[in-house]
Amino acid sequence: MNFKLKIWRQRDERSRGKLVDYEARDISPDTSFLEMLDIINESLIRTGGEPVAFDSDCREGICGTCSLTVNGEAHGPDHPGAVCELYMRKFRDGETITVEPFRVGAFPIVKDLVVDRNALDRIVQAGGFISARAGSAPEANSILVPKHDADLAMEAAACIGCGACAAACPNGSAMLFAAAKVSHLSFLPQGAPERERRVLKMVKVMDEQGFGNCTNTYECEAVCPAKISASFIAKLNREYARAQFHQRLGE
């Protein structure tokens, strides 16, 4: 298969970027999208060119590092899944493919297709932890958790923190990410001690990082590799309202 590629090239955050044309020839349909970029980079290196910078790690759809926008879609057209799970058979032979970084105000471009997503880490650092004493694994039945709550907590905890939700959102909102991080702890008794402080701090930091507001377009849910439900945003809103109410009572 042969493809024409328009890849975003940008030297650093302060430089002006542009789409540059490349060709990928004789690509197997079973080649992953990132492997195809590797092939292009090998060709660029052989000819003395500058390889395209992009992030990747596990290449198994687990870590969320490989965040790219392909033809205007976060992680590309094969949902659910990260871009490392996207294969070239998903495209037509001879198709023109546009590859860009995530376009989120809170994710400054580092170089080419690499963005700084530390804003998500700062949200987690604000409250995505518990104060329960760590140590050896406790007896499984020592803390009883209703199965429904455990299932919801596991569903929310599946978030890989890739930032696709913010990239797909027309407002650049990280509400689905924050909702998943708040929800998976709020469903469990171990998360109870910091429950209210957690949501207040995480939402505060989310706003400080420059993410937009949620207007229920559900684009976040559509592109999420972990299939996180947008219903968790409602859970976040309830947790936030509850925490604010108790905070005002305390005042």
140 falls in which pLDDT band (50, 70, 90)? low
Same domain, 235 and 122: yes
What CATH number did the domain enclosing 51 receive?
A: 3.10.20.30
pLDDT digits (tens, 9 = 90+) for 39-80: 999 999 999 999 999 999 999 999 999 999 999 999 999 999
Average pLDDT over residues 161-175: 97
Q: How is residue 52 written in tokens?
A: 């395209």
pLDDT score at 251: 61
pLDDT score at 134: 65
Tokens 């939402």 found at: 203
Rounded Cα gap, residues 11 and 21, in angstroms: 16
Q: Which of 111, 135, 166 is the last residue of a domain?
A: 111
Same domain, 125 and 63: no
Whether the per-residue pLDDT at 5 is higher than 90: the answer is yes
pLDDT score at 249: 85
Whether the per-residue pLDDT at 142 is higher than 80: the answer is no
| Other residues' Cβ atoms within 10 Å of the Cβ of residue 112 | 23
Same domain, 140 and 69: no
Rounded Cα gap, residues 183 and 191, in angstroms: 10
H or E element in which residue 74 lies:
strand 73-74
Same domain, 63 and 138: no
245 falls in which pLDDT band (50, 70, 90)? very high
Average pLDDT over residues 141-168: 92
Residues whose CB falls within 8 Å of the CB of residue 61, separated by 6 or more in sequence, listed in order: 81, 82, 84, 85, 160, 225
What's the structural domain count of the chain?
Answer: 2
Q: Which of 179, 248, 185 is closest to 216 using CA atoms?
A: 179
Same domain, 156 and 172: yes
Same domain, 146 and 166: yes
Rounded Cα gap, residues 206 and 161, in angstroms: 14
Whether the per-residue pLDDT at 223 is higher than 90: the answer is yes
Q: Which of 111, 128, 153 is the last residue of a domain?
A: 111
Average pLDDT over residues 220-230: 97
Same domain, 28 and 99: yes
pLDDT score at 44: 97
Same domain, 217 and 100: no
pLDDT score at 219: 96
132 falls in which pLDDT band (50, 70, 90)? confident
Same domain, 140 and 244: yes
Report the percentage of the chain scoring pLDDT > 70. Answer: 97
Classify strands 109-111 and 73-74 as parallel, antiparallel or unpaired.
unpaired
Average pLDDT over residues 186-215: 94
| Other residues' Cβ atoms within 10 Å of the Cβ of residue 145 | 14
Q: Which of 88, 111, 134 is the last residue of a domain?
A: 111
Q: Are 137 and 78 in contact (CB under 8 A)?
A: no
Average pLDDT over residues 127-143: 75
Average pLDDT over residues 102-117: 96
| Other residues' Cβ atoms within 10 Å of the Cβ of residue 104 | 28
pLDDT score at 131: 79
Residues spanned by the domain of 193: 118-250
Same domain, 137 and 185: yes
Whether the per-residue pLDDT at 138 is higher than 80: the answer is no
Same domain, 131 and 234: yes
Rounded Cα gap, residues 23 and 6, in angstroms: 9
Same domain, 66 and 165: no
Whether the per-residue pLDDT at 105 is higher than 70: the answer is yes
What pTM does this model have? 0.91
Average pLDDT over residues 87-113: 97
